[in-house]
Chains A and B, each alone.
Chain A
Amino acid sequence: MTAVRLRDAVVLLGSFPALAGVDLEVERGEVVLVRGPNGAGKSTLLHLCAGLLRLSEGHGDVLGCDLGDDRAAVRRRVGLLGHDTALYGELTAAENLQVWARASRVDEADVPGALERLGLPTRLRDVPTDRLSAGQRRRVALAAIVVRRPELWLLDEPHAGLDSEGREIVDGVVSAAAAAGAAVVLASHETGPAGDLATRTVTMAGGTLAEGLEP
């Protein structure tokens, strides 16, 4: 079943066409790497698939929900890791995830397990997240996605700011999700390590997409 289907998608940010006509299909179980230079429109693409942006032109549906009038349903079912971590700095990692779990109607009991899986040391769980390092905050943000177990994972530069141990953990989490039938879209400006994960790579430039075969 198709998780993402975009047809000639145009997204305007102000009067700037961040996406200038994108056609993309992602199947469940696939890990698609979107690579391209800064400003190519990768982050906009992920935000669109998360139901956070309106389509200015074109059509799209995500997990069977229309991106025109059913974005609320899309938002409930995806996991998004953006440039920013969407964490409340004054709250601890555990508190952030508890609020998130309760708001998303998923089991709060999974929170400690998720933090452990992302390798956040136990002593850092109860520290306000604005005192954590950038890499540690990203681990917490990823744990939030793990807690939700979404059908579509949208990860923007998943390796950014992570040490090699962190990158391995993330890769493991992502492949496990794909093996369990979730669709994954990764965005990265480099082919580098994230490429090992991908089952397919597409190249993006100028707000459009060119499907390529490079690994």
Chain B
Amino acid sequence: MTAWRGLSLFAGDAVLVASKDLRIEWRARTALGQVLPFAVLVLVLFGFALDANRPTLRLATPGLLWMTVLFATVVAVQRSVAVESTDGARRMLLLSGMAPAAAFAGKAAAVAVQLLIVEVLLVPGVVLLYDAEIESLPLVVATCVAATVGLATAGSLLGAVVAGVRAHQTVLPILLLPVSAPVLIAATRAFADGFGTVAVDGWSWVGLLAGFAAVNAVLGAVVYGLLLEDT
């Protein structure tokens, strides 16, 4: 009974924080107004950069798509950090007494939802612009979900590391991008299978993505409170 109650309180707090962040994003329109056009622009520019060579574009599609998502992650996490930094708002999370792990889960979930919106736009985008063909929709969807959770958790954790620092805009990519290397590799491989460009076992890559997501979610849940308190 008490375990269930604890779990439902945790979930309630996480949903509260996530919906708060998403509502703020919806009002500020940063995600929709800047991240989405940016993502589409990158797709178009890659087309120019690779000289509109369709076979090359098709081959490079998974990598280009996930590079774009990675850049979008940096922007989304920076926004998520900025929301708490203005006018001492972060104090609300601390003083409310909610479990820091729940606050972390909520912050990461809000970033994940925004990234999924970007991906929902990008996948049809590459189908239209790069002539890519989806061979296995379940694989593509599973990859998106697993990779997104991994990027959102690692991003939110490292975002909290640089919160409140003047140089946070430049330091965050230095921290996040190297650690995200496995996501880029695994998601690109899994998409290569999902789009049928390379014959590999995409599902084992999804497993690796899930492992990355789980590890970083646990890490974040454990240390987020220390970051909130100490910085």
Could you say which interface size class chain B belongs to?
Answer: 20 to 34
- CB neighbours (8 Å) of A76 from chain B are 95-97
- CB neighbours (8 Å) of B93 from chain A are 103
Is A102 interfacial (CB 8 A cutoff)? yes
A65-106 CB contacts (< 8 Å) to partner B: 71-72, 75-76, 78, 80, 82-91, 95, 99-100, 102-105
Is B86 interfacial (CB 8 A cutoff)? yes
- CB neighbours (8 Å) of A103 from chain B are 13, 16-17, 92-93, 96-98
- CB neighbours (8 Å) of A99 from chain B are 16, 20, 92
A99-120 CB contacts (< 8 Å) to partner B: 99-100, 102-105
- CB neighbours (8 Å) of A105 from chain B are 97
Smallest CB separation, B182 vs chain A (Å): 34
**A85 to B17 alpha-carbon distance, docked (Å):** 18
**A91 to B92 alpha-carbon distance, docked (Å):** 13
Is A181 interfacial (CB 8 A cutoff)? no
Is A160 interfacial (CB 8 A cutoff)? no
- CB neighbours (8 Å) of B89 from chain A are 86-88
**A84 to B91 alpha-carbon distance, docked (Å):** 10
Flag if A84 contacts B87 (CB, 8 Å): yes
- CB neighbours (8 Å) of B23 from chain A are 90-91, 95
Flag if B20 contacts A72 (CB, 8 Å): no
Flag if B87 contacts A85 (CB, 8 Å): yes
Flag if A85 contacts B13 (CB, 8 Å): no
Interface of B is mostly: helix
**Given A89-B86, A90-B27: A82 and B13 within 8 A (CB)?**
no
Is B83 interfacial (CB 8 A cutoff)? yes
**A71 to B16 alpha-carbon distance, docked (Å):** 23
- CB neighbours (8 Å) of B20 from chain A are 88, 91, 99
**A2 to B112 alpha-carbon distance, docked (Å):** 46
Could you say which interface size class chain A belongs to?
Answer: 20 to 34
Flag if B91 contacts A86 (CB, 8 Å): yes
Is A210 interfacial (CB 8 A cutoff)? no
Is B49 interfacial (CB 8 A cutoff)? no
Nearest neighbor of A75 in chain B, beta-carbon distance: B95
Is A180 interfacial (CB 8 A cutoff)? no
Smallest CB separation, B205 vs chain A (Å): 38
Is A161 interfacial (CB 8 A cutoff)? no
- CB neighbours (8 Å) of A86 from chain B are 87-92, 95
Is B174 interfacial (CB 8 A cutoff)? no
Flag if A91 contacts B24 (CB, 8 Å): yes
- CB neighbours (8 Å) of A87 from chain B are 87, 89
Flag if A84 contacts B83 (CB, 8 Å): no
- CB neighbours (8 Å) of A95 from chain B are 23
**A84 to B95 alpha-carbon distance, docked (Å):** 14
Is B94 interfacial (CB 8 A cutoff)? yes
Smallest CB separation, A133 vs chain B (Å): 14
- CB neighbours (8 Å) of A71 from chain B are 229
Is B128 interfacial (CB 8 A cutoff)? no
Nearest neighbor of A137 in chain B, beta-carbon distance: B87
Smallest CB separation, A88 vs chain B (Å): 5
- CB neighbours (8 Å) of A83 from chain B are 88
Of the candidates A80, A85, A86, the one having the most CB atoms from chain B within 10 angstroms of its own CB is: A86
Q: Which of B27, B88, B97, B229 contacts A82 (CB 8 A)?
A: B88
A–B complex contacts, Cβ < 8 Å, 16 sampled:
A50-B95, A75-B95, A86-B89, A86-B90, A86-B95, A87-B87, A88-B20, A88-B86, A88-B92, A89-B86, A90-B27, A91-B24, A91-B27, A100-B92, A103-B98, A104-B95
Given contacts A80-B91, A89-B87, A91-B23, 9 further A-B contacts (CB under 8 A): A76-B96, A85-B87, A87-B87, A87-B89, A88-B83, A88-B89, A100-B92, A103-B16, A128-B27
List A residues at the B interface (Cβ < 8 Å): 50, 52, 71-72, 75-76, 78, 80, 82-91, 95, 99-100, 102-105, 128
